[in-house]
């Protein structure tokens, strides 16, 4: 008899609370460049769909297995499936270098297969149902701007009486890892660096508790050491949504606001983390050399452990999620998050 995935993952169940808290993050990158584009859960098995690359200018190559069992060695690009069940259950990060790719109609030539096209849709909108601790709400997650502001942020809306109303605060903040930016001015918090950040949502979990995306600088910054953080560099981020307070006669904390929040001085900040199993570090001794830029401390991080491009998030149940995409070092990566 097959055991359901929910039953297996229940071994790792964590008591739910109404407060956002730091999550445990485990990353797993392949030895190949590319991305894990999607995750499919069916019963007790978790399958990843990946597009990976082997360079023709080096000795790196794929061992491909045709449906008839014959092995082929090739360079280039393949789209293949990966068994992620062990990683989803216990965090075991292990991939073989032998792949059975998604075949074309020519089963004896596995190189002739369809390729997954990866497109970037920046102004995406996502829908989810938030159902947690008695709070049930339809959520709309949207990337956009605040009027009079050139920088983007992530906006969260709650369906109330047939209308999507914004939650108390938009997600336009980082934390000690990345500086927060407040829409409408250049004022940074005490922990901020002075750089201007854009925030983008890429996906939202089915239960509406976890929003994943990235932060990036609005401009390339050069530091005194000559190191640069380019405007194209992205830092994968995730935000937890939790109940902000009890509703009293339509008011939250005596304010006309949603039951949900992304943080305030009264309710405590939403849990914000980089999608990395190591902490980002700021080097205050190395600051931006361009006097026209806001004062900015250098950020150092391990590119191999940071998920940069985020494609989707999969809810495994019992406070566990898989986030898939590509690392900052360009490797196909999967991440296990435990709230």
pLDDT in tens, 15-56: 223 456 678 999 999 988 888 988 988 888 899 988 888 876
Q: Which residue has the higher pLDDT, 89 or 110?
A: 89
% of the chain at pLDDT higher than 90: 20
At residue 316, the pLDDT reads 93
At residue 307, the pLDDT reads 95
- Kindly report the pTM of this predicted structure: 0.77
Residue 315 has pLDDT above 80, yes or no: yes
Q: Which residue has the higher pLDDT, 258 or 5?
A: 258
At residue 109, the pLDDT reads 62
Name the pLDDT band for 195 (thresholds 50, 70, 90): low
Residue 13 has pLDDT above 50, yes or no: no
At residue 191, the pLDDT reads 40
Q: What is the mean pLDDT of residues 76-84?
A: 85
Residue 338 has pLDDT above 90, yes or no: yes
At residue 314, the pLDDT reads 93
Longest dimension (CA), the chain: 69
At residue 205, the pLDDT reads 93
pLDDT averaged over every residue in the chain: 75
Q: What is the mean pLDDT of residues 217-246?
A: 86
Condensed to tens digits (0 to 9), the pLDDT of residues 109-156 reads: 655 555 444 444 445 678 888 887 787 888 878 777 665 566 677 778
Residue 300 has pLDDT above 90, yes or no: no
């Amino acid at each position: 008899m097959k055991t359901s995935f929910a039953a297996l993952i229940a071994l790792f169940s964590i008591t739910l609370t109404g407060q956002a808290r730091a999550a445990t993050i485990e990353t797993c990158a392949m030895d190949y460049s590319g991305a894990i584009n999607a995750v499919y859960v069916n019963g007790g098995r978790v399958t990843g769909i990946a597009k990976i690359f082997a360079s023709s200018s080096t000795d790196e190559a794929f061992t491909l297995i045709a449906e008839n069992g014959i092995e082929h060695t090739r360079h280039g690009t393949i789209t293949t499936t990966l068994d992620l069940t062990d990683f989803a259950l216990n965090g075991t990060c292990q991939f073989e270098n032998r792949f059975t790719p998604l075949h074309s109609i020519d089963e004896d030539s596995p190189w002739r297969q369809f390729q997954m096209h990866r497109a970037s849709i920046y102004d995406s909108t996502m829908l989810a149902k938030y159902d947690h601790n008695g709070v049930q709400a339809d959520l709309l997650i949207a990337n956009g701007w605040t009027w009079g502001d050139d920088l983007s942020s992530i906006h969260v809306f709650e369906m109330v009486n047939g209308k999507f109303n914004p939650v108390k605060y938009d997600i336009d903040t980082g934390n000690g890892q990345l500086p927060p930016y407040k829409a409408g001015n250049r004022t940074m918090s005490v922990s901020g660096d002075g750089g201007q950040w854009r925030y983008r949502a890429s996906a939202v979990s089915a239960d509406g508790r976890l929003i994943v995306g990235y932060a990036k600088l609005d401009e390339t910054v050069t530091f005194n050491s000559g190191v640069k953080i380019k405007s194209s560099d992205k830092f994968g981020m995730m935000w937890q949504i939790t109940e902000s307070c009890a509703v009293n006669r339509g008011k939250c904390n005596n304010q006309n606001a949603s039951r949900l929040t992304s943080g305030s001085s009264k309710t405590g900040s939403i849990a914000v983390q980089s999608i990395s199993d190591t902490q980002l570090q700021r080097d205050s001794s190395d600051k931006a050399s361009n006097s026209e830029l806001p004062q900015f401390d250098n950020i150092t991080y391990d590119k191999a452990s940071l998920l940069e491009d985020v494609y989707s998030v999969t809810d495994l149940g019992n406070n566990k999620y898989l986030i898939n995409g590509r690392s900052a070092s360009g490797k196909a990566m999967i991440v296990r998050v435990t709230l």
